[in-house]
Amino acid sequence: DVKVTQSSRYLVKRTGEKVFLECVQDMDHENMFWYRQDPGLGLRLIYFSYDVKMKEKGDIPEGYSVSREKKERFSLILESASTNQTSMYLCASSLNTDPQWTQYFGPGTRLLVL
Amino acid sequence: AQTVTQSQPEMSVQEAETVTLSCTYDTSESDYYLFWYKQPPSRQMILVIRQEAYKQQNATENRFSVNFQKAAKSFSLKISDSQLGDAAMYFCAYRSPAGDDKLIFGTGTRLQVFP
């Protein structure tokens, strides 16, 4: 079974702090994604990556950056956390050759910025 | 740009009954893929069912089936013989054939199942 793990389930940070959210997948997937989930807005794509050291902006990249130094790890960085970044963050991964085009999700990190 | 709309923020169903969750989408593409994902409370999101637009036959997975109406751009999910474990947020998602594997999600429908 594919396993996608995220470093924290719950996180509380102060405004202005630099925040790192880590995501690791164990199935050698090429593609990795970061979403944020907000009530009434569904999931919105922040950034995604097709390969090591590659990154593409999603629909809401402002205030975020990402890093993918190793294939299995995709980090989301909040350079200076703000209260409007309080949200649930979901990481996902997928395999290029998967005929099902399935994305596998991590358990999510619920971030509160005070 | 493609959009996905789920007009039912909440739905409820009694155990063993059938419920249908609605999803509409907007696209100018002729070939694409549609998905229903399930997010149980405090648990990971998982794929429930998917449909390729070029296939006329509606997809089914055990108690889950879809009603895919391409001309109407509608993709509803039917859950038969509902079980307590079906209680979750359900998200409809669209994938372009462009190959970048990006998904566009709807806003979700929270399904409650009553005994």
In the structure encoding, which two tokens stand for residue A91, read together? Answer: 């990481």
- pLDDT mean over A11-20: 97
Q: Verify whether the Cβ–Cβ distance B44 to A105 is below 8 Å.
A: yes
The CATH number linked to B85 is 2.60.40.10
- Res A85: pLDDT: 98
Min mean pLDDT across A11-15, A26-30, B90-94 is at A26-30
The answer to whether A74 contacts chain B (CB < 8 Å) is no
3-class secondary-structure state, position A83: helix
- pLDDT mean over A79-105: 90
B56 within some domain? yes
Into how many domains does chain B fold?
1
Domain, as residue range, for B42: 3-110
Please, what sign has the CA dihedral across residues B32, B112, B85, A33? Answer: positive
- Res A47: pLDDT: 96
Distance in angstroms (rounded) separating the CA atoms of residues B66 and B21? 9
- Res B88: pLDDT: 97
Domain, as residue range, for A23: 4-113
Into how many domains does chain A fold?
1
Which DSSP letter does residue B28 get? S
A29-64: pLDDT as tens digits: 999 999 999 999 999 999 999 999 899 999 999 999
Q: Are B50 and B96 in contact (CB under 8 A)?
A: no
CB atoms within 10 A of CB B22: 17
Q: Verify whether the Cβ–Cβ distance A102 to B105 is below 8 Å.
A: no
Q: Are B84 and B115 in contact (CB under 8 A)?
A: yes
The answer to whether A40 contacts chain B (CB < 8 Å) is yes
B40 within some domain? yes
B27 within some domain? yes
Report CA-CA distances (Å) from B24 to A34, A58, B95, B100, B106: 24, 22, 14, 22, 9
Average pLDDT, consecutive stretches of 10 residues, N- to C-terminus, chain B (115 residues):
93 98 94 94 91 91 96 97 97 84 92 96
B115 within some domain? no
In the structure encoding, which two tokens stand for residue A84, read together? Answer: 């409007």
- Res B97: pLDDT: 75
For A42, list phi and psi in degrees, rounded to 5.
70, -150
- Res A2: pLDDT: 67
Question: Quick one: which of B4, B43, B9 has its CA closest to A9?
Answer: B43
Question: Quick one: which of B52, B53, B50, B74 has its CA closest to B64?
Answer: B50
CB atoms within 10 A of CB A48: 25
**Chain B hits for A107, Cβ within 8 Å:** 43-44
Nearest-by-Cβ selection for B91 from A40, A42, A107: A42
**Chain A hits for B107, Cβ within 8 Å:** 40-42
Q: Verify whether the Cβ–Cβ distance A43 to B91 is below 8 Å.
A: yes
The CATH number linked to A22 is 2.60.40.10
